[in-house]
Amino acid sequence: MDLATFLEALADDPEHAAGLLRDNRELVEQLSALPGLFAAFADGLEAAAAQARAAGWALLGEPGAVGVRTQLVGVSEAMNAIAGALGKGVWMIGDAAEGIGGMPLMGPPARQLAGAADELGSATESVKDIAASMDLIAEALANVGGAMTVLGTQLEFSGVQVRELLRQ
């Protein structure tokens, strides 16, 4: 039985309705608190909406502001530039090692330079890997930020719906 049918049945039998109200007075008094509870619920939804949107914008960056994602992309670009410069240095050191390696008495220093070039080459690849990881993290944060802003919108909509329910 739905609420409308129940209320119609009570209206058809006023004595029964009065008895139900008398027997369930505490429950009826508790029902009077529902509007306040719904209002508090709507307030909570609206506050959660604002927090979700703020978190999303912190990750994405509000219009005209830099967010975490943009900062990570900037760090990644800087690291890629560093890796490029290191790569040029590796090439130059390797080329120098090769050039001096053929000179008398320069074999050992040339091997040391070649070893340094190899080490710098490995470090350069590590820097590139870190930059790529930062790009992935930035993309993941952008997705989370987008989801948080959508969640904020949905929570706000739910709060508005609860308030509309109170007005009816």
Query: Which backbone phi and psi does 100 adopt, to 5 degrees?
Result: -85, -15
Structurally, the chain folds into a number of domains equal to 1
- Residue 88 inside a domain? The answer is yes
Which residue range(s) make up the domain with 147? 33-167
- Residue 20 inside a domain? The answer is no
- Residue 2 inside a domain? The answer is no
What is the overall mean pLDDT for the chain? 90
The alpha carbon of 66 is separated from its chain's Cα centroid by a whole number of angstroms, namely 15
Q: 168 pLDDT band (50/70/90 cuts)?
A: confident
DSSP secondary structure letters along 29-70: HHHTTHHHHHHHHHHHHHHHHHHHHHHHHHHH--TTS--HHH
Statement: the pTM of the whole predicted model exceeds 0.75: no
Taking only the tens place, the pLDDT of each residue in 137-154 is 999 999 999 999 999 999
Taking only the tens place, the pLDDT of each residue in 12-42 is 778 877 887 788 788 778 888 888 999 999 9
Distance CA 73, CA 132 (A): 10
Distance CA 106, CA 129 (A): 35
